Amino acid sequence: MKSLRHPWSSWTTLVSGNLRSTRLLFEPMVTTSVQKKWDLQGQKWTSSHTQAKNKGLSAPCCSAGGGSDPGNKRPVPTARLVPYIVNNLPTSQALHQVSDKAPSTSAGEISQPSFHKSHGLESLPAADLRSYLKKAYDDALHYCKSKKLPDDVDPTAVFSCNRLDLRNIDVYGFDYDYTLASYTPELEQLIYDLGKEALLKNFKYPEAIKDLQYNPNFAVRGLHYDIQHGLLLKVDSFTQVQLGCVYRGLTPVSDDEVLEIYQGRRLPATYVEVPNQYHDPKAMKMIQLADLFSVPEMNLLCNVVEYLYRNNIDYHPQSLFWDVKESVQSIHPLMHQVVEKDPKKYLEYHPLLREYLVTLKDSGKKVFLITNSPYQFVDKGLRFIVGEDWQQLFDVTVVSARKPHFFSNDNIPFRRYDPDMGRLWDRVNSFEPGHIYYGGTLKQFQQLTGWKGDNVVYFGDHAYTDLADVTLHHGWRTGAIIKELEYEIETLNSPDFKYAMNWLQFLTSLLETYQDLDNPEVQDIIKEWQSERHIIRKKTKHIFNQQFGSLFRTHLNPTFFSKRLFRFADIYTSSVTNLMKYSQRHTFYPRRGALPHEYRSWFN
């Protein structure tokens, strides 16, 4: 039989004499410290471990004995996700039966995966080939367990899509809703309840709809709603539908039906996004939930669809969509009044926001506010969040701006707004601090202020209405405020999730390497790997949201939401006040990710 070189026999990290500690990272409910080294004479692993029993479970994942290096003790994190994955795999013992036998290597070296299929595998007898694949799997698993988990990501950090040097920024601009003002979950409930009442009153929908309850955990931002077919779905950056994330009302739609409706997974770009969708929404076949205000609206729509569907009531998807949208839009004045009366209930208090705005002013920066919200609503909110003198913190304040038309129109004049008299008719020839302005256009704004180009940064929560036009057509720098980012990062930081993602990469590479083997005797092994991969992907998706998963990712690709965010935002973070962690001389650098044709790195 031809001698084959195992794909794990390329060793890259050299250590003289003793092998550095290899840390076994996962064992359910057991805390263990392990030190391992390679016995050059005995040609085997030697190791020692100490073990702290937790709830009576004491067996370590891998047996070990001998050798010690007190400087490298590290407790194994308690597992929650991995036992679920293990217990649902066809090879359910695989993660527990990892051999301690060292791979065939030169003395004094540590293995790192290469995943290059050896020549001559196809000529091996079936039994030898099966043993080879199982050894490849066990070695991959052993190596994955030995790797240190990635460091945690700071949930309050600022992340860069494009290089941004704050030394070049002289002017800071902000949106109001979900940018300076962050709302409590009670606001979503309020929008849902008021929208439901308007739907019943204005469009005479069945009275039973009043009993439909809001579920804040159903939908996430960034989804698309197919107006023609009445489906809520998740789309990736290549405009592909993520199967398993398509709902008619509250009912998942089968993969077969989805593929039949769309004739495959990929949607035409013109179907997903028309360039003027936020200038002419009625022209859209599909619309995206791009801000947090749209989440309760979509929840109401899906609840009504579910009710009509379950009760065999015929309806037209397009008519229903526009009825719900008009109902929710109609209640905004009433919603504003309710919030104004009780800002403490609906607004989150951020004591650092005032400090941040004062710091900008004291540093000689110009600060402005452009928002679509009306003056009274903004005034009540900022008095609660920032203080009674909030107007003095802005060089220019523009309310009722009608974005995105504010950025594209040329012929709507600014008008000064008097809180006692309302809109005034006198011509606006200059902006004065402490005064409020109404309407206008960005063209006039730039003419009156002289604030143009890349010395201006504008922050908002909506990639389209806040950021797209100013960066594409006016050269401003942009920052996105994504409130959900903290929750996403806290989920990513869990040891369970980190380990699952590491192992998923290894498992995918095993499949990439060996999937084309023609021998039918090993196809069951390949199918077991595929099944294991499917289970891990499904479970890690559900960690974020049971129905739709992460806001930022499908299984592998970025979501459509992420694609637009990365295109229109130079930086993004979960809160404006996170910028206080950085000096005004700070430069944000984007991470250099490997392109598909570049070298592989498993643990960036």
Q: How many CA atoms lie within 13 A of 181 on its CB side?
A: 30
**CA pair distance 270, 264, nearest whole angstrom:** 16
Task: Indicate the DSSP class of residue 172.
Answer: E
Which residue of the set 177, 461, 469, 496 is catalytic? 177
Is residue 461 classed exposed, middle or buried when 0-12, 13-18 and 19+ CB atoms within 10 A define those classes? buried
CA dihedral of residues 388, 390, 392, 398 (deg, nearest 10): -130
CB 111 within 8 Å of CB 602: no
Q: Is-cis flag, bond preceding 103, omega within 30?
A: no
CA angle, 413 then 291 then 562, to 5°: 115
Residue 8 has which token pair? Answer: 């794990």
Cα-trace Rg, the chain: 29
Residue 443 in tokens: 């063209």
- Indicate the helix (H) or strand (E) that contains 582: none
DSSP characters over 471-538? HHTS--EEEEE-TTHHHHHHHHTSHHHHHHHHHHHHHHHHHHHHTT---GGGHHHHHHHHHHHHHHHH
Q: What is the DSSP letter of 22?
A: -
Which distant-in-sequence residues (6+ apart) come within 8 Å of 163 by Cβ?
Answer: 570, 587, 588, 589, 590
Q: Is 437 helix (H, G, I), strand (E, B) or coil?
A: strand
177 is catalytic: yes
Q: Are 47 and 18 in contact (CB under 8 A)?
A: no
Query: Of 500, 501, 499, 480, which Cα lies nearest the Cα of 561?
Result: 480
Cβ contacts of 496 within 8 Å, gap of 6 or more: 77, 79, 80, 81, 82
| Helical packing angle, 294-310 and 185-203, nearest 10° | 50
Are 233 and 259 a contacting pair, CB within 8 Å? no
List 39, 100, 175, 518, catalytic entry: 175
User: How many other CB atoms are there within 10 angstroms of residue 260's CB atom?
Assistant: 10
Task: Tell me whether residue 175 is one of the annotated catalytic residues.
Answer: yes
d(CA 69, CA 497) in angstroms, rounded, equals 28
Residues forming the active site:
175, 177
